[in-house]
A = this chain, B = another copy of it.
Amino acid sequence: MGGTKIAFAVGDAGGALRTRRRRPTAPSGRPEDDLARLLDDARQVVAEAGLSPADLAAVGITAPGPLDPDRGVVLSPPNLPGWHEVPVVARLRDALGIPVFLENDANAAALAEWHFGAGRGLSHLVYLTMSTGVGGGLILGGRLYRGVLASAGEVGHAPVEWEGEPCACGQRGCLEAYTGGAAWTRRLRAQAPAASRVVSLAGSRDAVRPEHVVAAAREGDAFALAELARWNDYVARGIVWLVMALAPEAVVLGTIATAAGDALSLDPIRAQVARHVWPHLARSLRILPAALGERLPYLAGLSVAIEGLRA
């Protein structure tokens, strides 16, 4: 369940998806109506799989934070208007009669990449979603680590420049303020030279987006190359901290890295990280693009169900 789209699937413990569907979230402002509609869709996707809810082992739900996974309550995500303290888990469990588990989207994505994607078989994994915002999830010692109030992994809001650029979260210098898609887009529109390839690819300065930087950099545009180097550098700063503090086997980068495909090589980030962490940690570290692509939302929900049953 995202702010713009909501995805449903029936799958098995091996990650095979039997049926799936996706529609705009279009929150009505009335959570009860939204939940009723969500339940209808859930029942339909189960029916399409030739099953009834009683045939399922569990339901896994992912939602934007803040939420309380222990109480199964979505608190008040900025992108779900009208949703405050909505007891999603109780509502679905009562309606479907099976166990229901709730997890925030970054943690669920980390679980999915760990169960079925780039982090398969590892014990210590940091997942970073480099999208409009920058989120993260930590798999440490073979399980999801949530911390106090399920708030662990918010590395998008750890400082990469002390007292640096203001961030949408209210703090300054956050990794997200330098590498998040929204912040980067604002910067590009303010700073892209009119004559740069970035602007001509976008059509106008106000239409510039990060993917134009990637495309223009591929053509050798100086502004785009500098911007991409800056982005890589800040991503590397965040990763260096995580590697020194957590000694993970892998850092998996989701969304931007995946969406930009080959054009966005992770090699400059790998090289920068390797220069800034101890050699034995650099040798054992892998920095990988996320592997699940458009299957991620479905497998995230599935992973939450699997993890919930395991706990």
Contacts and interface: CB of A to CB of B under 8 A. Distances in A.
A251 to B, nearest CB: 12
A4 interface: no
A167 to B, nearest CB: 11
A205 interface: no
A76 B161 CA distance: 35
A13 to B, nearest CB: 23
Contacts of A284: 148-149
Task: Work out how many copies of this chain go into the complex.
Answer: 2
By secondary structure, the A interface counts as: loop
Contacts of A136: 245
A136 to B, nearest CB: 8
Nearest to A243: B158
Contacts of A140: 140-141, 145, 147
A131 interface: no
Interface of A: 66, 124, 136, 138, 140-141, 143, 145-155, 157-162, 169-171, 237, 240-242, 244-249, 276-278, 280-281, 284-285
25 contacts: A124-B152, A140-B147, A141-B146, A145-B145, A145-B246, A146-B247, A148-B248, A148-B281, A149-B247, A150-B247, A151-B278, A151-B280, A152-B246, A154-B245, A155-B244, A155-B245, A158-B240, A158-B241, A159-B237, A159-B244, A162-B237, A170-B278, A171-B276, A242-B245, A245-B246
